[in-house]
Amino acid sequence: MQTSETIHPDMMEATVPNRRWTPGRLGAAVEPQKGIYVIQAEFAQILLQPVSDAIVRIKLLLDPGKAFDREDLNSTIAVQQEAFVPVYSELKETNDVYRLFLPELTVELNKTTAQIDFYTQQGELIASQEEIYSSNRGEYVCRNRMEAESHIYGLGEKTGFLDKKGEKYDMWNSDVFDPHVPEIEALYVSIPFLVHFQPGKTSYGLFLDNPGRTSFDMRTQPDAYTFQVNAGTIDYYFIPGPGLPDVLRKYSGLTGTMDIPPAWAIGYHQSRYSYMNEEEVMSIARTFKEKRIPCDVIYLDIHYMDEYRVFTFDPVRFPNPRRMIEQLQEMGIRIVPIVDPGVKKDPEYGPYQDGVQHDYFCKKLEGDLFIGDVWPGASAFPDYTEEKVRDWWGEQHRYYTESGIQGIWNDMNEPAVFNTTKTMDLDVVHGNDGTPKSHRELHNLYGMLMSMATQQGLRKQLGGERPFVLTRAGYAGIQKYAATWTGDNRSFWEHLAMSIPMVLNLGLSGQPFAGPDIGGFAHHTSPELLARWTQAGAFFPYCRNHSVLESIRQEPWAFGEQIEDICRTYIRLRYRFMPYLYTQFHQAHTTGMPVMRPLVLEYPDDRKVYEMCDQFLVGSDLLFAPILRPHTESRSVYLPAGEWIDYWTGERYSGGQHILAYAPIERMPMYLKAGALIAELADDEAWKPEMSAQSAIELVVYAGSAGTTSTGQWYEDDARTYAYEEGSYNLLDTKMSFNQGDIVLAGTYRVRKLPLLREQLQLRIKWLAYAPERVTLTTSDGTEELEALGGSWSYDADAQELKLQLPNTHDAFEVVVTSAGTVS
């Protein structure tokens, strides 16, 4: 336990490091390679590398005397080399400054101070880097201007609220079992990507590509934030918007977007540390079936292994994994086993022998293996920085794929080691494919490279099926390889609340596929907390209930009928919205827009939402306002601009106001943007997410008031293979207008390459207060009554719903619903 001695006056470290060094005066510039500029300074060189029309890379070359060589352009694996495209650029010099012109960005470097200013093409000052210096300890620091109106987002997986202004964080992948309190500066994932937002101005992102320890300080100085590196050098990418979505799109272009996950990976998942044996797993699976609660995955935590040896099953607890997995598959449930990086030091164990013989494990400079203590006892750690080691590790997974496994859970890959530093010795030297570097320099890459190896191995082995990888640790670009769960939270109401900003900021840091342990991992959940957490968690991109050894059980049925009913309702609702959710994943894949969004992303002009993180959007059309405190039956909800419909009652609200939502235990406030088109599974019982053309999908339009116009989208593919990469998918764009007396819905298939098995399109217009008189359909063949073209419609006045069936044979169509009264 700590005492007041911790704050002994003599123990205070200087918070502002002494300046020892700046690059000094800028001298001559050279262009050693076409479109790459190096400016000589007194004590360093500054490399400017245009990446694309608007993105520039700035790197400090620390040796002022060294001639340029191609290695200066090396970057980490986070950066996709395809992101570098030929760009027109020009460096001009005046007496006082250098100016680098890109088509959409101008970078100005002051020759005397080395201040770097970034301007839009129109001359708007986007950002100022006022200073670069190094501290006495040899850390390089950049100080950037921060305004009173600045808001800072991103920075990956951090505690605290949405806006990171006023905070200070470290990027150092850490296994933190202590409660995740606001003062924890580093968690499992490190994404050194900062997003700067200032209302009315061009937003920008700054990606510091350095996988050693880095820190971001938005607290110490009122008018500046700093970022610093502890090993290696400053190497960053400046990414202007103008809008936040533009920043995210460009950042994702640089570090990659996620693949579309197999639909089963976005279903509901159930875990526990641990389901101890085959009987227990089967009984959990059967209970889900009996209780008609959808579940796609059950996890096997570390007890499935033979003395914690990865790539084994305990012969007593799991005597016949292949048979068990087959039986589960028939029930529509998959197994995802945990795989940690530590390989048990055991001369009679294949993977250890193999790894030693082929030199696959991490070593000290002198050649000794690094051996650290983890679950299996003394263990060796694969050096994933080497491609051959990644290939080998991937290959090991045949052990699982041959038993029918398609998903892997990577834990402890910070890496976590049971010693005083909590990780691998910093003087381990990674091979790094020919450019050896110390663990101190590469620490934050370790977990991502493990997941990369896993994902690539699985992909090879699954014959075209999409794998699923879940990871605890990661670095920028992790989205390309794995989903992230947010580690060992606790069953605290505070952690339910904190999971929202944490996952929102992960989404703003390029990782859209994330979620917390629903119900809380450590400590003991309560019936009410489980109900509330399941309500909210059901709409997070990644949705898994998980809990620690010896904590109170927290499967959906653990607390009796009422709580079970609530969990069932919300988990089913997740499946009902699955086609919409899946469409959002497609968007994340193509544009980098997160699935779960803070309101600021969609309403940047609304000052009320800049720090809002007790509500969130999924896509643009669904707004959730979970209950985050016990014994709470109502809460205030802020509805942004536009018209919003209460999902439960159909009540309409105009936006730009706070309302008081009624929220008894069985109800989480949720709203639809009026006019939204949500692709839904029509049948609550048909929850298999294999969204084949046979599954009953309805396009549900939540009618807007007269005067509303809206757009919608529905993406569909086979939900399991990579055929979508070859263009085998459907993408329907819709445009709706709600007028006095009619509703017009126009649909256009932007892509329609899936075999056309869906002969009819099911459409439902909800909350339509007046019975229609006619429905016409316009296609390339002309306009006719819907019935005359083989369609049909019916109106249910009690439910205020119009159901429509349209022949699905045209690439473009328009439906006009006419009624005597106003349409809503």
- 411 or 555, CB closer to ligand MIG? 411
Residue 655 CB, nearest approach to ligand MIG (Å): 39
201 forms part of the interface with ligand MIG (CB under 6 A): no
Question: What kind and span of H or E run contains 205?
Answer: strand 204-208
Which positions ≥6 away from 819 have C-beta within 8 Å? Answer: 741, 742, 770, 771, 772, 773
Spatial strand order in the sheet of 697-702: 677-681, 697-702, 760-766, 801-807, 792-796
Closest contact distance (angstroms) between CB of 47 and ligand MIG is 39
* Pick 310 or 703: Cβ nearer ligand MIG: 310
> What would the x/- binding string for ligand MIG be over residues 31 to 70, using CB under 6 A?
----------------------------------------
414 belongs to the catalytic site: yes
Q: What is the DSSP letter of 414?
A: T
**Residues touching ligand MIG: how many (CB under 6 A)?**
11
Q: What SS3 string covers 457-511?
A: HHHHHCCCECCEEEECCECCCHHHCCEEECCCCECCHHHHHHHHHHHHHHHCCCC
Query: Least separation, in Å, of the C-beta of 454 and ligand MIG?
Result: 16
Catalytic residue among 209, 411, 517, 614: 411
The answer to whether 386 contacts ligand MIG (rule: CB under 6 A) is no
Considering only residues 487, 520, 579, 655, which one is a binding residue for ligand MIG as defined by CB under 6 A?
487
Smallest separation, CB 213 to ligand MIG (Å): 22
Active site residue 296: no
Give 812's Cβ-side CA count (13 Å radius): 6
**Least distance in angstroms from the C-beta of 554 to ligand MIG:** 13
Q: How far is the CB of 528 from ligand MIG (least distance, A)?
A: 23
What is the phi-psi region of residue 560: left when phi exceeds 0, alpha when psi lies from -120 to 50, beta otherwise? Answer: left
| 409-428 positions binding ligand MIG, by CB under 6 A | 411-412
* Other Cβ atoms closer than 10 A to 31: 14
Closest CA to 814 of 738, 716, 748, 740: 748
Q: Kindly tell me which of 57 and 546 has the beta carbon lying closer to ligand MIG.
A: 546
Catalytic residue among 414, 646, 716, 718: 414
* Smaller CB separation from ligand MIG, 150 or 471: 471
**CA–CA gap between residue 665 and residue 59 (Å, rounded):** 54
Kindly state the helix (H) or strand (E) to which residue 661 belongs, with its residue range.
strand 657-662
Q: Which is nearer to ligand MIG, 127 or 339 (CB)?
A: 339
CA-to-CA distance for 576 and 681, rounded, in angstroms? 5
Nearest CA among 535, 507, 503, 539 for reference residue 519: 535
Of 488, 602, 680, 718, which one is the catalytic site residue?
Answer: 488
| CA dist 369 → 247, 351, 383 (Å) | 43, 15, 11
- The number of angstroms, rounded, from the C-alpha of 745 to the middle of its chain's C-alpha atoms is 33
Question: Minimum CB separation from ligand MIG for residue 519, in Å?
Answer: 12
Q: Which residue is nearest to ligand MIG (CB)?
A: 273
Q: How far is the CB of 184 from ligand MIG (least distance, A)?
A: 15
Please say which residue, 254 or 302, places its beta carbon nearer to ligand MIG.
302
Cα 329 to Cα 167, 304, 313, 404, 579: the distances in Å are 46, 18, 18, 9, 22
Do the beta carbons of residue 545 and residue 512 sit within 8 Å?
A: no
Is 291 exposed, middle or buried, given 0-12, 13-18 or 19+ CB atoms closer than 10 A? Answer: middle
* DSSP bridge pairs for 804: 763, 793
Nearest distance from C-beta of residue 488 to ligand MIG, angstroms: 5
How many residues does this entry show for the chain?
Answer: 824
Q: CB 8 → ligand MIG: shortest distance, Å?
A: 32
Q: Which is nearer to ligand MIG, 472 or 532 (CB)?
A: 472
Question: Considering only residues 140, 193, 251, 273, which one is a binding residue for ligand MIG as defined by CB under 6 A?
Answer: 273
The reply on whether position 488 binds ligand MIG by CB under 6 A is yes
Dihedral sign, CA of 70, 233, 383, 314? negative
Residue 359 annotated in active site: no
Q: Are 641 and 673 a contacting pair, CB within 8 Å?
A: no
DSSP 8-state code for residue 201:
S
How far is C-alpha 384 from the chain's CA centre? 23
Q: Which is nearer to ligand MIG, 216 or 275 (CB)?
A: 275
Nearer to ligand MIG, 273 or 702 (CB): 273
Sites for ligand MIG among residues 544-563 (CB under 6 A): 546
Nearest CA among 687, 682, 693, 685 for reference residue 766: 682
Residues between 494 and 533 with contacts to ligand MIG, criterion CB under 6 A: 521
Whose Cβ is closer to ligand MIG: residue 521's or residue 585's? 521
Compute the least distance from the CB of residue 425 to ligand MIG, in Å. 20
Taking a C-beta distance cutoff of 8 angstroms, is the pair 230, 135 a contact?
Answer: no
CB of residue 591 vs ligand MIG: minimum separation in angstroms?
Answer: 31
* Nearest distance in Å: CB 7, ligand MIG: 30
- Name residue 471's amino acid: T
CA 399 to each of CA 334, 351, 394, 395: distance values in angstroms, whole numbers, following the listed order:
16, 11, 10, 8
For 276-285, b where at least 16 C-beta lie within 10 A, e where not — what string?
ebbeebbebb
Q: Which is nearer to ligand MIG, 413 or 456 (CB)?
A: 413
Return d(Cα 678, Cα 255) in angstroms, integer. 30
Q: What is residue 264's DSSP assignment?
A: G
Site string for ligand MIG, 331-350 (x = CB under 6 A): -------x------------
Contact between 301 and ligand MIG (CB under 6 A)?
A: yes
- For ligand MIG, the binding residue among 472, 480, 572, 635 (CB under 6 A) is 472
Tokens at 418, concatenated: 């049971």
Identify which of residues 275 and 702 has a Cβ nearer to ligand MIG in the complex. Answer: 275
Q: Which is nearer to ligand MIG, 221 or 277 (CB)?
A: 277
Cis before 541? omega within 30: no
Residue 302 makes contact with ligand MIG by CB under 6 A: yes
As given in the structure block, the two tokens for residue 639 are 């509805």
What's the longest Cα–Cα distance across the chain? 87
Residues noted as catalytic: 411, 414, 488
- Binding stretches for ligand MIG (CB under 6 A): 273, 301-302, 338, 411-412, 472, 487-488, 521, 546
